[in-house]
Every structure is written in C-alpha cells, then in structure tokens.
Amino acid sequence: MRKVKGRGSIFLQLLLTFFVFFSFVDSGNAGVTSTFIRSEWPSVDIPLDDKVFAVPEGHNAPQQVHITQGDYDGKAVIISWVTADEPGSSQVRYGTSEKNYGFSADGTVTNYTFYNYKSGYIHQCLVDGLAYNTKYYYKIGNGDSARKFWFQTPPEIHPDAPYKFGIIGDLGQTYNSLSTVEHYMQSGGEAVLFVGDLSYADRYQYHDVGVRWDTWGRFIERSAASQAWIWAAGNHEIDYMPYMGEVTPFKSYLHRYPTPYAASKSSNPLWYAIRRASAHIIILSSYSPFVKYTPQWRWLQEEFKRVDREKTPWLIVLMHAPIYSSNEAHFMEGESMRAVFEYWFVKHKVDVVFAGHVHAYERSYRISNIHYNVSGGDRYPVPDKSAPVYITAGDGGNQEGLAGRFRDPQPDYSAFREASYGHSTLEIKNRTHALYHWNRNDDGKRVPTDSFILHNQFWANNRRRRKLNKRHLHSAIANVPLSERLRRCA
Ligand SMILES: [Fe+2]
C-alpha cells in the first residue's frame, strides 16, 4: 500500500516538473499564435431527425434531463427535465443504491410560449440534504417511461479538496459541438463550468427557436444528466426578437436552466456564486446591468466579502464576453465590464477568469490595466502578479463557425491563441497548485494543446506559504504524544 502511494507521489512530482518546464505563464515568454489550421467540418446544425436528438421511448418519457448545483456548498442539486405530452409527476426518487430509491423530493412544473411555440412541461426539483462525495442514483417519470441516472456529489468544502472542472463555451449543436462534448466526457471532468451561449436556437425564427432549445436539451443530456453544469448566460440566451413579438430577455433560458442564485443572496438567476470542493466560483452576466450601484454590482461587492480563501483557496470568475481578447471578433466588447470590475479582480486576487463569446481559444499572462483612467495612467495592460489569468474558451463549436482573425501583432498580454474548437479542464490538486489543459478537437481526436500550472493567488504569497508550512508542522506535532512534546521542548 505504502509502495503504491510512493509511486503516485513520484508520478505527481514528475508531472508537475513537466508542466513547470512547459509553463508559459510565469516564464514571461513571448506569446504564441498557433499556426495550426484545422480542416473544418461544416458548421451546420445536426439535422433534427439525427439520433443525437432522439426522443426517449415511452409515453411522456422525461427528456432534456440536466442537473446543476442546488445550493451554496454542493450538498444539493437541481434536477430539470421536460415531459412533452402532459405534466406528469415532478417527483425525483433517489438513493445511494441502484436498487433502492428510498428517498423522494417534489419539484415544480411550468411551461411557456414563444411566438407560436408551446414548450413541453418543464420540471425542476431541488434535491437537498445530500452527503458529500457520494454517488446518488435517481429516477424520474412514471411506469415504463421512467428513466434512471446517477451523479456524484462533490467533496466537502476543504482547502485541499482536489476537483476537476471542465470548461465549455459557445457550444451549439453541430457535429463540432458533438465532438467537443464527447471529448469532454473522456476527460474525467466532474462538473462543467459553462461560459454562455448554449443552444444558438436564436439563429432560427418563429416556431423553430423553441424546437432548437429542445434539441439542445436532448443533446447535452448525455453529460448534463449525470454531472452538474454550472451556467453562465451569453448573448444567445437573450432571445430578444421583437419582429415576432418576443421582447422578454432570457425567456427560454430562464425557464429551462435554473441556477441556485438565492443561496448566494443574489436577486437574479443570471448572476450568482457557488462553492464546490476547494473553489469559490462567481458567475457574472455580461448582458445585465453591472455598473456602479446596479444590483449585480452591489451583489458582487458583497460576494467578494464572503470569499474565504482559507476554506476555498481557488477563486474563479465566469462571464461570457471576455475582458482580454485579441481576436477581431467581438473586439473590446468586454471593455465596459473591465472598466467596472477589473479593479476588484486584482484586489481580491482572482485566480482565473473564464469567458466565451469569441469562437477561438486564447490565454493571457497575468496582466491588468487598472491604472488607466480617462485623464492618465498606463495606456496598456501591464504585468501584474495579483491579476487573474484570462482564458477565452468560446470554442465549443457552434453553427457560426470559428473566429479565425487574430489582431496582428499579438499583444504582449496574450500568451497563446488558436482558432480551433475544443474544451478545457482545470484540475485542482490542492490549495497551491492546479493543472490546466486546453484540448483541441482536431477533427475528432482529443489533442492536449495548451497546458500550464496555475499557482494559487492566495497561497502562493510568501507569508501565507510560511504560515502553511507552520500549520503543517502543527498538525504533524499534534500526532506526537504530549509527554514527548514536553520532552522535546525542555
Ligand atoms: Fe456570444
């Protein structure tokens, strides 16, 4: 047993050494614009009758099943699904054995119209009071149409709790989207941080908008029924279509993709926070008011006060429109949010900001532009050790295709950029280190392309590192009998 543990530790050390060697973040290397040119699959949506979107068999069978975290700390899930023919039951039966669904929770059902589209019956059920780090089996629907799934709850909130997140953005429902999801499912990711732009249903008109929200729900069920997808909203969730009389922003999205916003004292499902394992994750809305004194601004100010890096060392922010992107597509669209929030990101030492929107991949060095103001200060972003790494990952593979034109020359702040489809993983090892990978789809093969070690912004600080060492010394001493300690002190 001891031998196996030793080998694992050596392997981890070798792995970390490998990543240090190839890490660009701290080395200050010039940025890289990848020359990889992918032979693009057609960026068209998969046809409606494809088996990818198959409706489950049975009368009124639950479909579009997905789960998200249901509370602040990961002891609850919200399970959502749709029944097409009649409301049916909103109850979830669940348990820790595949043979025993001894517990139950009752949810709610709703529906909505969008132009002349009438949605199915959308069920949402909060299942709470769960144990950490436990596999739960759950069953929804009735009789022969009932369907069974399972999920794993995250570990208890702890500064050294390891956890592997996937990061996906701008997914859509093309063959490239399918490739992204299939590759992500091979990655061993335990939950998805989704950075906005889900279905691209708003590329359709009239009745078909609702239809394509439904197909997307069936498309992501292969992953989202079994693990939490943490949602951030993008511009394609707005669904503002006055020509067809639909002017309520986020109508389809808010009906279909609930978030646990109240648990983080947010007044709106579009911005909220969760804690999961060793991470505190803040989700912002690029398309809701965020300037000073707005509800989102006030909420974020308070949420930063609730962050406790001693308990959750990893501070992650999700948003849709990137603050730092050197792609021609959507250039500067994140600038207004940068002007309002960047100072806080630096002040609170956010580890990493994930965004989407731009259909390519880009990673920044740790830089900030907080000294600039309308009458002076730095004109350009400058290296800043307290700043987050900014990662744009709008590379899920939707029908709009790739954003292939990067600005030339590559700005100093840009570390790596490539116009390909893919997904990312962030593998938190402990309170000080996390491994990050970007995986290019590469026409069906999953190819790790950009990787680095993320050093935690809170615990990387020298003073805290000394404190950590001291603490470990304390815990080691705690295991020594008191008589022995007194003898050593004497
Ligand atoms: Fe977008």
Smallest CA-to-CA distance from 396 within 438, 368, 451 is with 438
Residue type at 106 in one-letter notation: D
Q: Quick: pLDDT tens for 61-82.
A: 999 999 999 999 999 999 999 9
pLDDT of the residue at 43: 85
Q: How far is the CA of 234 from the centre of ligand 1 (A)?
A: 5
Q: How far is the CA of 211 from the centre of ligand 1 (A)?
A: 20
Q: What is the mean pLDDT of residues 306-314?
A: 98
Architecture of domain 10-459: 4-Layer Sandwich (3.60)
Q: How far is the CA of 367 from the centre of ligand 1 (A)?
A: 24
Q: Which residues are catalytic?
A: 330
Domain positions in the chain: 10-459
Q: How far is the CA of 250 from the centre of ligand 1 (A)?
A: 14
Q: How far is the CA of 220 from the centre of ligand 1 (A)?
A: 18
Q: Decide if pLDDT at 132 tops 70.
A: yes
Strand stretches in 376-432, DSSP E: 382-383, 389-393, 414-418, 422-428
- This prediction has a pTM of 0.90
pLDDT of the residue at 41: 64
DSSP at 206: T
pLDDT of the residue at 480: 43
Q: Decide if pLDDT at 484 tops 50.
A: no
Q: Specify which residues 18 forms β-bridges with.
A: none
Per-chain mean pLDDT for the chain = 90
Smallest CA-to-CA distance from 181 within 400, 418, 420, 422 is with 422
Q: How far is the CA of 55 from the centre of ligand 1 (A)?
A: 28
Alpha helices by DSSP H, listed for 136-277, are: 175-186, 207-224, 251-256
Q: Quick: pLDDT tens for 117-130.
A: 999 999 999 999 99
Q: How far is the CA of 199 from the centre of ligand 1 (A)?
A: 11
For residue 416, CA distances in Å to 255, 268, 419, 426, 446 come to 37, 35, 11, 17, 18
* φ, ψ for residue 366, nearest 5 deg: -80, 105
pLDDT classification of 472: cutoffs 50, 70, 90: low
